[in-house]
Amino acid sequence: MSASAKRLKGLLQWDASLASLALLGMVLIPVIEVLLRPFQGSGIDNAPVLVQHLGLIFSLAGAIFAERTGHLTSLGSFWKNIKNPFLQASARAWIFLFSVFICGILALASYDLMASEIESGQTIAYGIPTWIFLCALPLGFVILGIKFGLRWHDNGLYQFIGIGIAFLIALNSSNGLFGFSLPGPLLGLFIGSFLFLGGPIFLVLGGMSWALFSQENIPMASLALSHYQITVNPSLPALPLFTLAGLIFANTQAAHRLSQLFTSVFGTGKIGTVLAVAFLCSCFTALTGGSGVTILALGGLMLPLLLKAGYPESKSIGLITSASSLGVLLAPSVPLIMYAIMARVPINTMFVAGLIPALVMVFSLLIFGRFITFPQRVGRFANVQALQSAVPDKNPISLKQAFWQAKWEILAPFIAIGSLISGLATPTEGAALTVTYALITQGLIHRELKFSNFQNCLYQAAQIIGGILLIMGMALGLTNYLIDVGIPDLASEWVQSITNNKYVFLLALNVFLFFAGALMEIYAAIIVLVPLLLPLAMSYGIDPIHFGIIFLANLEMGFLCPPAGMNIYFASAVFKKSLKDVIQSVLPALMAIFIGTVLLSWFPSWVMTLPQLLSSTGP
- DSSP alpha helix (H) spans, 393-543: 399-405, 407-421, 427-439, 451-484, 487-498, 502-519, 522-538
Residue 481 lies in a domain: yes
Angle between helical axes of 201-215 and 184-197 (0-180°, round to 10): 170
pLDDT band at 179; cut points 50, 70, 90 = very low
pLDDT score, position 145: 93
- Judge contact between 313 and 406, C-beta under 8 A: no
Contacts of 280 (CB under 8 A, 6+ apart): 258, 259, 262, 298, 302
Same domain membership, residue 250 and residue 120: no
pLDDT, one tens digit per residue, over 390-419 is 344 445 578 888 889 889 988 888 887 787
Structural domains counted in the chain: 2
**Structural domain includes residue 583:** yes
**Beta carbons of 87 and 66 less than 8 angstroms apart:** no
Task: Quote the pLDDT of residue 545.
Answer: 94
Q: Kindly give the residue spans of alpha helices, DSSP state H, lying in 267-406.
A: 270-288, 291-308, 313-323, 334-343, 347-353, 355-368, 384-388, 399-405
| One domain for residues 345 and 206 | no
Instruction: Classify 171 as helix, strand or coil.
Output: helix
Give the number of other CB atoms < 10 A from CB of residue 482.
Answer: 17
Distances (CA, A) of 238 to 127, 218, 290, 319, 335: 26, 32, 15, 30, 11
Claim to verify: residue 203 and residue 298 sit in the same structural domain? no
Q: Which range among 6-10, 175-179, 196-200 shows the weakest confidence by mean pLDDT?
A: 175-179
Handedness of CA 355, 325, 450, 459 (dihedral sign): negative
Question: Domain ends where: 196, 231, 266?
Answer: 231
497, 491 in Cβ contact below 8 A?
Answer: no
- Asked if residue 14 belongs to a domain, the reply is no
> Looking at the structure, do residues 220 and 312 belong to the same domain, yes or no?
no
32 within some domain: yes
Query: What per-residue confidence (pLDDT) applies to 445?
Result: 92
The answer to whether residue 20 sits within a structural domain is no
Across residues 272-292, what is the average pLDDT? 80
- pLDDT of residue 311 exceeding 70, the answer is yes
Q: What is the pLDDT at residue 334?
A: 79
- Same domain assignment for residues 283 and 197: no
Instruction: Show which of 161, 196, 231 is a domain's final residue.
Output: 231
pLDDT at residue 256 is higher than 90:
no
Mean pLDDT of the 189-208 span: 84
Q: Distance (Å, rounded) from C-alpha 4 to C-alpha 7?
A: 5
Query: Which residues, including other chains, have CB under 8 Å from residue 96's CB and lie 6 or more apart?
Result: 148, 149, 151, 152, 162
Q: Is 129 helix (H, G, I), strand (E, B) or coil?
A: strand
The model's confidence at residue 617, banded by pLDDT at 50, 70 and 90, is low
Q: Minimal CA–CA distance to 378: which of 303, 429, 430?
A: 303
Which range marks the domain in which residue 120 is found?
27-231
d(CA 39, CA 581): 60
Q: Using CA atoms, how far apart are residues 77 and 418, in angstroms rounded to an integer? A: 43
220 and 270 in one domain?
Answer: no
Domain identity same for 458 and 576: yes
- 8 Å CB contact between 304 and 388: yes
Note whether 243 and 218 are same-domain residues.
Answer: no
Q: How confident is the model at residue 178 (pLDDT cuts 50, 70, 90)?
A: very low
Residue bearing the bigger pLDDT, 105 or 397: 105
Residue 7 falls within a domain, yes or no? Answer: no
Does residue 252 share a domain with residue 189? no
Q: For 133-155, what is each residue's pLDDT tens digit?
A: 989 999 999 999 999 999 888 89
Q: What is the pLDDT of residue 176?
A: 46
Residues 6+ apart with CB under 8 A from 489: 535
Residue 3 inside a domain? The answer is no
- pLDDT, the chain, mean: 81
Does a structural domain hold residue 290?
yes
Q: Is the pLDDT of residue 357 over 90?
A: yes
Both 506 and 599 in one domain: the answer is yes
Task: Look at residue 523 in the predicted model and tell me its pLDDT.
Answer: 76
Higher pLDDT, 536 or 372: 536
- Asked if 270 and 305 touch (Cβ cutoff 8 Å), the reply is no
Average pLDDT over residues 432-455: 91
Confidence of residue 468 (pLDDT cuts 50, 70, 90): confident
Q: Does one domain contain both 215 and 309?
A: no
Last residue of a domain, one of 216, 231, 246: 231
Identify whether residues 115 and 248 lie together within a single domain. no
